Structure formats: C-alpha cells, structure tokens
Amino acid sequence: MVDISPQRPQTRIQRRNTEAILEAALEVFSAQGFRGATLDQIAQAAGLSKPNLLYYFPSKEAIHLELLSGLMDVWLAPLRAMDPEGEPRAEIMNYMRRKLEMSREMPRESRLFANEILQGAPRMMEGIEGDLRTLVDEKAAVIRGWAEAGKIAAVDPHHLIFSIWALTQHYADFDVQVRAVLGPERDPFAEAGQFLDTLFERLIAP
C-alpha cells in the first residue's frame, strides 16, 4: 500500500519513484496538456512500466491533481512575499522580478498552469476563487493604500497585478513564439528583465 496521506512514512524507493513520476508528469502534462498526455508517456519518462506507475498513483487524474495542488502554493509565494511594510516601489518591482525569474526557472509549471486556466480551470476553480482571490484582494488593498499615500502612481491594483502576471508568464508560455520572432541570437529573458524594469518603473512612478 502506498500512503498518500499528508505525512508519508515512505521508503527510499517510494520517495524516489513518486518524485520521478511527478517530474515526468510535469514534463508531459505541460507539453501536451492533460488530455494530450498518456500514461505510457509519463511512465516511460519516469523509467517505469505503466502498471508500476499506477501502483503509486491511483489514476492519471490523481497525478495531475497532485501537481496542480502542489503548484498553487509555489506560484503564489512571490505575491505572498510582498511586504506591506516595505518600500512600495521596491516591493512591486521585486515582485515582478521574482515572477519573471519563476517564468525562466519554471516554464513547465507556468505552462501547466496556463493549460489549466485555458481549459476553464475545471480542476482549480476552488483554489482560484478561494486562496488566490483572497490573497490578491489582500495585496490589492495594500497597493491601493500605497497609491492613496502617493507612494506610487494611482493605478488599479488588480490590473497592476494582472499585468505582472501577463507580462512575465508570456515569456514562459509563449516561449517558442518569442524565440521564433527574436531569432536564435537574442536572449528573451535577459531582454525581458530590462524591458519590464523600464515598463513598470514608468507605470508606477508617482
């Protein structure tokens, strides 16, 4: 029996294999979408047989769900880290930079997320309407306070956050398009760092 309960008294083999499976599943799901991925692909990428894979997870859906639920926290960490007591412009710029770095370091996670939202977020709606919305509203209130205090320009806080998401995730989710347009010599993420610094400096400067 495999124990999927919160605290897992796992053997070495269990830990190694579940990790390999989740890693492989992230690779495949993010590249093919849920429906496009097959258990055979995931099993092969993980170096296991399909029945063996199903020994560790009860179903394809369970693997997907495990990835998504694990992702939510990681994904929101940078926003959570935005400090209401910090220096307003630095806090916003740092949030944006952390988010861009996540796009560079974790493009597969970004695409997994994008795939899910594109399909109408059938397996994430509760998390989005719950945790995510709560957190965004909370941070939006902080930003609004900064704007009212004249520390940053008066812009809609929710859309400011959306613009950070859109611009940073674009470089991960549309990577192939960006690279195809820029050509092989240019470094999208390095340039994006420069460009987005300029963009947001000008947007939030009081």
Partner DNA sequence: TTAGGGTTTGACCGTCCGGTCAGAGACGGA
Partner DNA sequence: TCCGTCTCTGACCGGACGGTCAAACCCTAA
Query: Which among 115, 113, 91, 116 has a CA at the least distance from the CA of 102?
Result: 113
Residue closer to its own copies by CB (options 18, 110) is 110
Identified binder of its own copies from the candidate list 27, 170, 189, 197, rule CB under 8 A: 170
- Between 143 and 192, name the residue whose CB sits nearer to its own copies: 192
Task: Pick the closer one to DNA by CB: 6 or 51.
Answer: 51
With residue 6 as reference, give the H or E element that holds it: none
Please name which of 107, 81, 84, 104 lies closest in space to residue 94, comparing C-alpha atoms: 81
- Based on CB atoms, which residue is closest to DNA, 55 or 189? 55
The alpha carbon of 202 is separated from its chain's Cα centroid by a whole number of angstroms, namely 26
Q: 150-176 burial by CB neighbour count: b if 16+ within 10 A, else e?
A: ebbeeeebeebbebbbebbbbbbbebe
Its sign, for the CA torsion 128, 133, 135, 136, is: positive
Interface mask toward DNA for 43-82; x: CB under 7 A: -----xxxxx-xx--xxxx---------------------
Kindly calculate the radius of gyration of the chain based on its CA atoms and give it in whole angstroms.
Answer: 20
Residues 90-129 that bind its own copies (CB under 8 A): 111, 114-115, 117-121, 125, 128-129
Distances in Å between the alpha carbon of 83 and those of 37, 80, 93, 142, 174?
39, 8, 12, 9, 30
Q: Which does 55 bind (CB under 5 to 8 A by kind): its own copies, DNA, none?
A: DNA
Q: What is the footprint of its own copies within residues 26-45 (CB under 8 A)?
A: 31-36
Cβ neighbors of 141 (< 8 A, separation 6 or more) are 157
Provide the binding-site residues for its own copies, judged by CB under 8 A: 31-36, 111, 114-115, 117-121, 125, 128-129, 132-133, 136-137, 153, 155-156, 158-160, 162-163, 165-167, 169-171, 173-174, 176-178, 180-183, 191-192, 194-195, 198-199, 202-203, 205
Provide the binding-site residues for DNA, judged by CB under 7 A: 1-2, 11-14, 17, 37-40, 48-52, 54-55, 58-61
